Amino acid sequence: MAAMTRPLRPLLNRRLAGFGTTIFAEMSALAVRTGSINLGQGFPDTDGPEEIREAAVRALRDGRGNQYPPGPGIPELRTAVAEHQQRRYGLAYDPDTEVLVTAGATEAIAASLLALVEPGDEVIALEPYYDSYAACIAMAGGTRVPVTLRPRDGRFTLDLDELRAAVTDRTRLILLNTPHNPTGTVLSRDELAAVAALAVERDLLVVTDEVYEHLVFGTAEHLPIAGFPGMRERTVTISSAGKTYSYTGWKIGWITATPELVGAVRSVKQYLTYVSGGPLQYAVAEALRLPEAFYEGVRADLRAKREVLCQGLAQAGFGVYAPAGTYFVTTDIRPLGETDGVAFCRALPERCGVVAIPNAVFYDHRHQGAPFVRFTFCKRTEILQEAAARLKGLAPNA
């Protein structure tokens, strides 16, 4: 019997058309094929503290977390998260009702958007944005409304008038990210106060991705927007262990918010992963209690690496936006006589054996991001030095 014929239909549902593969897969494959130094994807090339890894081993051996942990996360970790928010920021959260452990920040973002966004709602996001935001807004049936960070005075800056103008009657929430990947911008107290005032005035929710909260440099200070007047009751704060403790493979994240918001996000989360990373949750609970000296050490190490890479990039002829936070630096390739970051990044491995990511992929308005290229410095110093030496070959007068 002849097979029934149906009209051909794309396998991937329409909401996610265009989200087929990420640039990271292409660039990482290019790195392997050309033997290049991969400064594209942001994962450290050395693991975090030994004692945290050992805490995970102990939990595995002792049979803690090897069976389904509690849905909201183990109490030890929820308590450690609440204590961290209190100690660092003076924000009080009840570990039983106001903390939810997730499969990394990635699941926290997805569950928050799926929980809080109705089809047709508008979601304002700072452009360029982390690649999962656009996909998750699309999965939720929302409409994304980018507000573009623009270079001004050596930093990618949020234009508060543009933000205000982007709010409509359909706006449901503002999706923030500070410290900001890929630009390295850390929103200032004044900027956050203005965003907060707008959210209160227009009765908006804020979902804020703060996974780089500990990775700030110089005079930059990370402030959680949940601490601003009127914000605690309308903010879902997201963080994660991956970046802070250099265990990006563990995927232990969390949200802090009111019981109502946590309840909504948990309703979705329970059907995404239900739970994850049982024994690792015990280890992260210990990590959150590391003394301040640990965080200072992480920052000092990254600050030195940032110098190595930023100097190398400047010497190679790039325009460099030295980041105030994160472990990424955004560069401008126009001083090198280039304008198309995608073409530049595709050619860079052959030209000098280094892989970077074109910021254009983080924009809806791709032309806005065309001349910008992102490099990570969460790699060993000798690797960064070697990358800097290779990149020098690009300098117009080299």
Sheet holding 252-256, edge to edge: 99-103, 252-256, 235-240, 205-209, 171-177, 122-127, 143-148
130 binds ligand PLP (CB under 6 A): yes
Identify the residue among 36, 38, 240, 331 touching ligand PLP (CB under 6 A): 240
105 binds ligand PLP (CB under 6 A): yes
Using an 8 Å Cβ cutoff, are 105 and 262 in contact? no
CB of 376 to ligand PLP, least distance (A): 10
Q: Segment near ligand PLP (CB under 6 A), from 103-111, 214-222, 310-318, 382-390?
A: 103-111
Q: Segment near ligand PLP (CB under 6 A), from 8-16, 148-156, 245-253, 351-359?
A: 245-253
Helix, strand, coil abundance in the chain, percent, nearest 5 = 45, 15, 40
211 binds ligand PLP (CB under 6 A): yes
Instruction: Provide the sign of the torsion angle of the four alpha carbons 137, 138, 143, 148, taken in this order.
Output: positive
Select from 332, 306, 307 the least CA-distant residue to 319.
332
Number of residues that bind ligand PLP (CB under 6 A): 14
224 binds ligand PLP (CB under 6 A): no
Using an 8 Å Cβ cutoff, are 287 and 52 in contact? yes
Select from 293, 287, 301 the least CA-distant residue to 253.
287
Interface residues for ligand PLP in 248-267 (CB under 6 A)?
248, 251, 253
CB of 211 to ligand PLP, least distance (A): 5
Nearer to ligand PLP, 232 or 243 (CB): 243
177 binds ligand PLP (CB under 6 A): yes
Identify the residue among 36, 38, 106, 112 touching ligand PLP (CB under 6 A): 106
146 binds ligand PLP (CB under 6 A): no
CB of 105 to ligand PLP, least distance (A): 3
Neighbours of 233 (CB within 10 A): 12
DSSP, collapsed to helix, strand or coil, labels residue 257 as coil
Name the residue number minimizing CB distance to ligand PLP.
Answer: 104
Which helix (DSSP H) or strand (DSSP E) does residue 116 occupy?
A: helix 104-116
Using an 8 Å Cβ cutoff, are 256 and 98 in contact? yes
Which residues sit at the interface with ligand PLP, rule CB under 6 A?
A: 104-106, 130, 177, 181, 209, 211, 240, 242-243, 248, 251, 253
